[in-house]
Amino acid sequence: MSEPFSFSIDPVKVDKVETTHRRIVTAIPAPGTRGIMERIARHESSNAMDQPPVIWDRANGYQIFDPYGNAWIDFSSTIFVANCGHAHPHMVKTLQEQAEKLCHAYTYPTEIRAQYLEKLIAFTPANLTKASLFSTGAEASERAIKLARLYGLRDDRKRRTIIGFDGNFHGKTLGAQMAGGYHEQKHWIGYHDPAMRHLPFPYPWVLEAEGITGREMFTRDITKLGETTDLDDVIALILESYQGWGGIFYPTDYVQAVREWTAERDALLIFDEIQAGFGRCGTLFAYEQYGVEADLVTCGKGVSGSMPLSVVLGRGEIIDLDPAYTSSHGGHPLSCAAGLANIEIFETENLVSESARKGEIVRREINRWKQKTPERIGRVLGNGLLWGVFLTKENGEELDPLFCDHVVERCLRKGVFHIRTGRGTLKLGPPLTIPDDALIEGLQVTGEAI
């Protein structure tokens, strides 16, 4: 068995790079990187060593800069946060103006909170009429779970069961992790909530192998679940709009079958859009591509483009079930200012349609990769500016995480920054504001690295 991959934190001499969009002028990692990373590790339990070793000094637009003169094209948007670009001038100006006025207000009324909520509700789907404001995606997941349970307690049936999906991720707090589908990560909980159940995710390779449609798979699996679960107790299904590690979407007919099933039973359909939302996939929310309405939507990351902000959107009668649910930093004045500026940038720069348009550039370039190295590229999944490229062992279907990690490292040395998934998938997610020529250059460098 091969040793697990780790990025070198000692400088490695590499060729210098100088283009309009990239600059590599030192060894990589740059001298000085190791010392800073060790200082962090000395005082914090951190997984920083698992990601490309770059000291983030500043970021602007679609570029990351270290303190040593190097610049990378960012294909990560940090972690799908900077959809509107790093340090957008309108974002910076708005935050500066707000910071000079008010930096904290708990849940007390503020003008910036009112402005943001009005803009948010007007900008998002019409059936989502109210919102709750928090600071992290996990908080939003916890809020959605609680609202679903409260919705189930409204009548004599007292329904409590929530159904999630294997392989979905909703956060690392207790309820969020219980609803999520990374079961091996739940050992610390020490308790299994019998009212948290899971269905198999409808991966495309499963549907292909079994020769069934998405609708048929849902019908089969929900029926099977009914053998061990009282389906009359189900109050909600929670879906991550796509699985982040590989850009894996549900089949449309699967989600439509879920929507029909929940509607028949007055159960809620919850979409986790924490990573998928705000233009990332070429529509405002990824779930809109399934042609269904949501009852609750959780948002984070790209909802602000910068500051800690998360949101639960929903029908007013659901959100109002728990009006006293508050958070110390939920609706923070700076976060509301960032959320407002983010929507204004989306509107003035047409970022949702730009994401869809640029997604076709990505599709075209990846097809060129496949022509050059078909023996290493398996599935390619994605929409807009979210893509998962499955890198496989030669002429096979098995994912090759080690090969993929080396591709990420090679790109780093050539001035393109990628997230490391550790799964054998190359995850592409640049800011939606990235210029076409920078996008193409980053894709070409990545193709060469493969």
Would 356 be classed as within a structural domain? Answer: no
Task: Assess contact for 170 and 177: CB atoms under 8 A.
Answer: yes
Per-residue DSSP letter, 75? S
pLDDT digits (tens, 9 = 90+) for 190-245: 989 999 999 999 999 999 999 999 999 999 999 999 999 999 999 999 999 999 99
Do 93 and 68 lie in a common domain? no
CATH number at residue 121: 3.40.640.10
If one counts the domains in the chain, the total is 2
> Which among 310, 331, 349 is the end of a domain?
349
95 and 133 fall within a common domain = yes
Q: Token digits for 317?
A: 């009668």
Residues 108 and 148 reside in one and the same domain: yes
Q: Are residues 192 and 319 in the same domain?
A: yes
- pLDDT one-digit tens code per residue, 142-157: 999 999 999 999 999 9
Residue with tokens 């990332």: 280
> For residues 21 and 442, is the Cβ–Cβ distance under 8 A?
yes
- For residues 258 and 132, membership in a common domain is answered with yes
**Per-residue confidence (pLDDT) for residue 73, from 0 to 100:** 99
Same domain, residue pair 200 and 58: no
Say whether both 192 and 287 belong to one domain: yes
Burial class, 174, CB count within 10 angstroms (exposed 0-12 / middle 13-18 / buried 19+): middle
Mean pLDDT of all residues in 125-136: 98
Do 297 and 417 reside in the same domain of the chain? no
Residues 9, 125: one domain?
A: no
Strands (E), 188-267: 196-199, 234-240, 242-243, 248-249
Range of the domain at 156: 89-349
The answer, yes or no, to whether residue 1 has pLDDT greater than 80, is: no
- Report yes or no: 118 and 244 within 8 Å, Cβ to Cβ: no
Per-residue model confidence (pLDDT) at position 45: 87
In a domain, 82, yes or no: no
Give the C-alpha separation, 192 to 40, whole Å: 35
CA 160 to chain centre: 27
Q: If residue 279 lies in a helix (H) or strand (E), which one and from where to where?
A: none
Are 44 and 70 part of one and the same domain? Answer: yes
What pLDDT band is residue 121 in, cutting at 50, 70 and 90?
very high
Q: Are residues 184 and 276 in the same domain?
A: yes
pLDDT at residue 2 greater than cutoff 70: no
User: What average pLDDT does the segment 15-38 reach?
Assistant: 97
Mind listing the pLDDT tens digit for each residue in 342-401?
999 999 999 999 999 999 999 999 999 999 999 999 999 999 999 999 999 998 999 999
Average pLDDT over residues 123-137: 98
47: pLDDT strictly greater than 90: no
| Whether residues 64 and 93 fall in one domain | no
Show the tokens assigned to 309: 């902000």
